[in-house]
Structure 1
Amino acid sequence: MRKKYNESDIRNDYRRLTKLLIERGMTISTMESATSGQIASLITDTEGSSAVLKGAFVTYCNEAKIMQGVPAEILDKYTVYSKETAEAMAKACAKVYEANIGIGVTGTMGNVDPANPEASVPGQVYFAITLNGEAKSYYIELQPQPTRLAYKLAVAKEIYDSLMERLED
């Protein structure tokens, strides 16, 4: 059965998340590759988000990831498309911005990545969430989506669900 992602629902989810973080006095940062800033954008769609979003990186190429604190050895050993890379991304952005929550996301959306053809499989996405220094990694396989925005929103929903589960613990 194909999972459905509704843009309006996802935007409402992020509105709830941002308000929850404001209420709890928590901060968040992101290092995004596959979603190219979509998570940070969804967070900042809510008024008052400047109290929670400390900053965000869009690190579309490996060099950018390394410049922002992802160890080159991780990319060399595990490839850019791995849980290990997503976790290093989450840790690096949380550290740089001294945020309670760091989100790292990498993966392949609709097409094979010409810069990493042997490692990229369309629909495979890796993300990680650090919460107060404790990192957890995730892997998802997305069904083909009609647009790049639809892929980004689908990943955003999966990240939202995983983050909320951890915040409710």
Structure 2
Amino acid sequence: MITKEILALARAKGMMITTAESCTGGMVAAALTDIPGSSAVVERGFVTYSNTAKIEMLGVSEPTLATYGAVSEQVAKEMADGALRHSAAQLAVSITGIAGPGGSEHKPEGRVCFGLARIGQPTWTETVEFGPLGRGAVRESARTHALELLFISLNE
């Protein structure tokens, strides 16, 4: 299972992980902390579902939210950077998206933006279009993708 590998890699590198999650509501942190001994690696998780939570807990800027909207790479970047700033971790993953139902022409259901911040490296972002799979499937797909990003980062 990839979560065990993530924890082993982080432990071997002496790194702590933090998560900043919106549409997944803590699913990444839950997947990591399902493994015994994860407290040696998982520093904390932020569930910032509302814009207010993103601002207050992670320091996402109101102008960024107003200009780009919560579902954007710009907000995903600020979430990941904020998670590092507000924790003792060295690696952060962030997720913000539209799990559904609903969406719009400009931001369709299944669009999820990810951020990956690591101390000493530029923050990386991407958008994945999972499509209208249904709320549960989009959330699970986003969780799995975020775990894969952590795994890739730790293998660098």
* TM-score exceeds 0.5: yes
Deviation at 1:50, TM superposition (A): 0.8
Say whether the 8 Å CA contact 2:6–2:150 is kept in structure 1.
no
Q: Is the 8 A contact 1:128 1:138 kept in 2?
A: yes
> Which residue of structure 2 aligns with residue 62 of structure 1?
51
Q: Indicate whether 1:145 and 2:133 are aligned.
A: yes
Alpha-carbon RMSD: 1.8
Give distance in 1, aligned partners of 2:105 and 2:65: 14
Query: 1:53 matched to which residue of 2?
Result: 42
Q: Distance in 1 between matches of 2:55 and 2:2?
A: 31
Sort the Cα spacing of 1:107 and 1:90 in 2 relative to 1 into closer, same or farther, 3 A.
Answer: same
Deviation sequence 1:14-39 (CA, Å, 0-9, x none):
12212221222110111100110000
In 1, the alpha carbon distance for the partners of 2:45 and 2:2 equals 19
2:28 aligned partner: 39
The answer on 1:136 being equivalent to 2:136 is no
Unaligned runs of 5+ in 2: none
Q: Which runs of 4+ in 1 moved over 6 A?
A: none
Q: CA deviation at 1:78?
A: 1.2
Matched with 2:17 is 28
Deviations 1:33-87 (A, max 9, x none): 0110000001101111111111111111101100111111111111111000001
Aligned 8 A contact 1:101 1:130 in 2: yes
Q: Distance in 2 between matches of 1:146 and 1:96?
A: 32
Corresponding residue for residue 6 of structure 1: none
Match of 1:8 in 2: none
TM-score by length of 2: 0.90
Q: 2:98 aligns with which of 105, 108, 111?
A: 108
SS in 2 for 1:97: coil
How many residues of Structure 1 are paired with residues of Structure 2 in the alignment?
154
CA–CA separation in structure 2 for the residues paired with 1:157 and 1:78: 25
Structure 1 unmatched ranges of 5 or more: 1-11
Once residues 147 and 140 of structure 1 are traced to their aligned partners in structure 2, the CA distance between those partners, rounded to angstroms, is 15
Q: Tell me how far apart the structure 2 counterparts of residues 166 and 97 of structure 1 sit (CA, whole Å).
A: 18
